[in-house]
Amino acid sequence: MRILLLNPPFLGEYGRFSREQRSPAITKGGTFYYPFWLCYAAGVLEKDGFDIQIIDAPASRMGSEDLRAKVRDFQPQMIVVNTSTPSIINDVSIASDLKEMTGAFTVLVGTHPSALPSETLRLNSGIDAIARKEYEYTLQELARKLRDSDGLLDYFDLESIDGLSFHIGDEIIHNPDRSLIENLDEIPFVSKVYKKHLDIRDYFYTIAQYPQVAIFSGRGCPHGCVYCVYPQVMHGRKYRKRTIPNLIEEFKYIENELPEVREVFIEDDTFTVDQNRVFAFSHAYQDAGLKISWIANSRADIDIETLKALKACNCRLLCVGFESGDQNVLDAMNKHLKVEKAKQFVEDAKKAGILIHGCFMVGNPGETKETLETTLRYAKSLKLDTAQFFPIMVYPGTKAYSWAKENGYLLTEDFSKWNTETGLHNCVVSRPDLSNDELVEFCDRARREFYLRPSYILYRIERFIRYPGEDGLRMLKSINTFWKFLFHGTK
């Protein structure tokens, strides 16, 4: 049976829309994520004997007509369509169009339909179902039933599939949630799927050496930040981990089978949440004789010994959410992070020889014009390699979305407005004392003030001279778009 897994086209005339990142958009620096959740599902389905095709339309800025031609040639019996909040109307429309063209059983996946399954199914009666949350085995069970029934499913077939929402006439049925996957080792390496189905040179992260691959060593995050969408909507608060031997084997595969890859991005929400595991990974990495550089997401609360262990196994950079320089704002967003602890973390990282990319998000509960300035001063005081400043972007299923909606802070519930008309990040959270426009303008100014400091410019020149192979290519790839926004802002 043939199964198409589709990352559908959206705003290709303006750039490459990156659905899988935590705030989907066409990014200012050119970052474009792998469709990794589709690829993990593809690995499971292909292992089970299904004929798989992955189409990542934004990667090549494929238009609707070219997509239709490729789908017509493949003739799938099942179509899985990736979605996001800003693109949901577009995604549902394309899914319905392909359903009408092929007659294939058509399923939506992603954070948005997982959070709002009824509302999403009501957008178009042509959509057959939604596979909610972690969907690998929901799709596998559905595909097996389609194969065994020659495509003629009835209510009794569908009602037994945990994690599925679907239409029966005018009625919408939500089956119980599927249990989250405990044995992550049983899922095929996503890097093998990339090698077979994608061109890795299509994907770019401004903070990573190019070309790179993105993998997960675990899913879920135990921390309670109110804004983060994946733990609240898809993967839960429990950190479920692959075993160290399994993770090391994937690193070996990447080194041996994808020799052009210069860096691995471990995309766990918080790779360093289990510091004992960090030490175990460091020892296993060194024992295996691995050489490839890698980066990961971290909190700003790990000690210098853990940072040294990371450096010892070739970790080059950590991506860290500082969010705010004001303690009251951090407390209000349930960050459980102390400002001074985070500052010490950056100093320790510098001593250990690890670069830090800092993420700052403004407009959270408790934010004022004064705390914005506190955050900017704080960001400039830290010895960061790079930084990003974003206004708060709230997504269905998160506490931050509920907070904004319940207090009347949402300017609109038209999800297409979650991005600008050209696909850039937008802010639809506006309060009487701190408007969305003020948040966007602050981020534009903060970006300029951070990057145009003489001390920072000298730092970048020094790094470019000392490490041309590390910094040169990724800087050149992002400079055309990033510098335009640096000087001219978002609007």
pLDDT digits 0-9 by tens, 350-388: 999 999 999 999 999 999 999 999 999 999 999 999 999
pLDDT at 387: 96
Q: pLDDT confidence of 483, banded at 50, 70, 90?
A: low
Average pLDDT, the chain: 94
3-state secondary structure of 127: coil
3-state secondary structure of 442: helix
pLDDT at 54: 98
- CA–CA gap between residue 247 and residue 217 (Å, rounded): 6
Residue with tokens 């290519």: 473
Radius of gyration, CA atoms only, the chain = 22
Give the model confidence (pLDDT) of 408-424 as tens digits. 999 999 999 999 999 99
Give the model confidence (pLDDT) of 299-316 as tens digits. 999 999 999 999 999 999
**pTM for this model (two decimals):** 0.94
DSSP labels, 48-104: TT-EEEEEEHHHHT--HHHHHHHHHHH--SEEEEE--STTHHHHHHHHHHHHHHH--
Q: pLDDT confidence of 469, banded at 50, 70, 90?
A: low
Query: Is residue 99 over pLDDT 90?
Result: yes
pLDDT at 416: 95
pLDDT at 462: 86
pLDDT at 461: 87
Q: pLDDT confidence of 466, banded at 50, 70, 90?
A: confident
Q: pLDDT confidence of 22, banded at 50, 70, 90?
A: very high
pLDDT at 407: 96
- CA–CA gap between residue 284 and residue 291 (Å, rounded): 12
Query: Is residue 487 over pLDDT 60?
Result: no
Residue 259: partners with Cβ closer than 8 Å, 6 or more residues away: none
pLDDT at 154: 78
Q: pLDDT confidence of 486, banded at 50, 70, 90?
A: low
pLDDT at 28: 84
pLDDT at 468: 74
pLDDT at 342: 97
pLDDT at 150: 79
Q: Is the dihedral of CA 404, 408, 413, 418 positive or negative?
A: negative
Is residue 58 a contact partner of residue 10, using CB atoms and an 8 Å limit? Answer: yes
Q: Is the dihedral of CA 343, 345, 350, 351 positive or negative?
A: positive
pLDDT > 70 fraction of the chain, expressed in percent and rounded: 95
Q: pLDDT confidence of 214, banded at 50, 70, 90?
A: very high
Query: Is residue 11 over pLDDT 80?
Result: yes
Q: Burial level of 321, CB count in 10 A (0-12/13-18/19+)?
A: buried
- CA–CA gap between residue 177 and residue 162 (Å, rounded): 6
Q: pLDDT confidence of 471, banded at 50, 70, 90?
A: low
Tell me the domains of the chain and their CATH numbers: 2-132+135-174 (3.40.50.280), 200-392+429-488 (3.20.20.70)
Alpha helices, DSSP H only, in 105-201? 111-115, 117-121, 136-148, 155-158, 190-197
pLDDT at 283: 98
Mean pLDDT, residues 57-71: 96
- Three-point CA angle 37, 42, 45, nearest 5°: 130
Distance of CA 175 to the CA centre of its chain: 26
Give the model confidence (pLDDT) of 257-270 as tens digits. 999 999 999 999 99
Return the closest-CA partner of residue 440 out of 387, 374, 491, 376: 491
Q: How far apart are the first and last CA of the chain?
A: 47
- CA–CA gap between residue 136 and residue 41 (Å, rounded): 5
Peptide bond into 211 cis (omega under 30): yes
Query: Is residue 132 over pLDDT 60?
Result: yes
- As given in the structure block, the two tokens for residue 346 are 């950056």
Give the model confidence (pLDDT) of 228-240 as tens digits. 999 999 999 999 9
**What are the residues facing 107 on neighbouring strands?**
80, 129
pLDDT > 90 fraction of the chain, expressed in percent and rounded: 89
pLDDT at 149: 87
Mean pLDDT, residues 458-480: 68
Mean pLDDT, residues 440-458: 94
Query: Is residue 480 over pLDDT 80?
Result: no
Give the model confidence (pLDDT) of 134-148 as tens digits. 999 999 999 999 999
pLDDT at 242: 98
Give the model confidence (pLDDT) of 177-193 as tens digits. 999 999 999 999 999 99
